[in-house]
Amino acid sequence: MSIIKEMVKIAYNALDDKQGEDIRIIDISGISVMADYFIIAHGNNPNHVRTLMDFTEEKLNKAGFDTKNIEGNHNGSWVLLDFKDIIVHIFDKENRSFYDLERIWADGKIIEDVKSF
């Protein structure tokens, strides 16, 4: 398994472990140079969004992957964790719907089953 796919699985599992909602993985490697994968999820409230962010960052850091940048507002409505090869977007439900990254990046390939990925 490639290192990038390992990163994706760690991030996905971290989000899943903390009950991230509607977790999506989009392979953007063929359409963008900014990253290979987007991982998108949302939380149920500001505390949940922050928990998802903290736990995902912690799990990836413990696995040896450095956070390159964190953007967004830390009040719990949207945050982006940039790990260079993967970018994790965590929203509250309203902002996820508003930004609709799945539509914007519809040319990317949706990864349906992370277990066989």
Residue-range definition of the domain harbouring residue 15? 3-105
Q: What is the pLDDT of residue 79?
A: 96
Q: Stretch 7-11: mean pLDDT, rounded?
A: 97
How does pLDDT run across 83-117, given as a tens digit for each residue? 999 999 999 999 999 999 999 999 999 998 887 77
- Is 12 within the bounds of a domain? yes
Number of domains in the chain: 1
Domain membership of residue 113 (yes or no) is no
What is the predicted pLDDT for the residue at 1? Answer: 60
**What CATH number does the domain containing 10 carry?**
3.30.460.10
The DSSP secondary structure of the chain, one letter per residue, reads --HHHHHHHHHHHHHHHTT-EEEEEEE-TTT-SS-SEEEEEEESSHHHHHHHHHHHHHHHHHTTPPP-EEEEETTTTEEEEE-SSEEEEEEEHHHHHHH-HHHHTTTSEEE--GGG-
Tens digit of each residue's pLDDT (9 = 90 or more) over 48-91: 999 999 999 999 999 999 999 999 876 789 999 999 999 999 99
Task: With respect to residue 14, please indicate whether it lies within any of the assigned structural domains.
Answer: yes
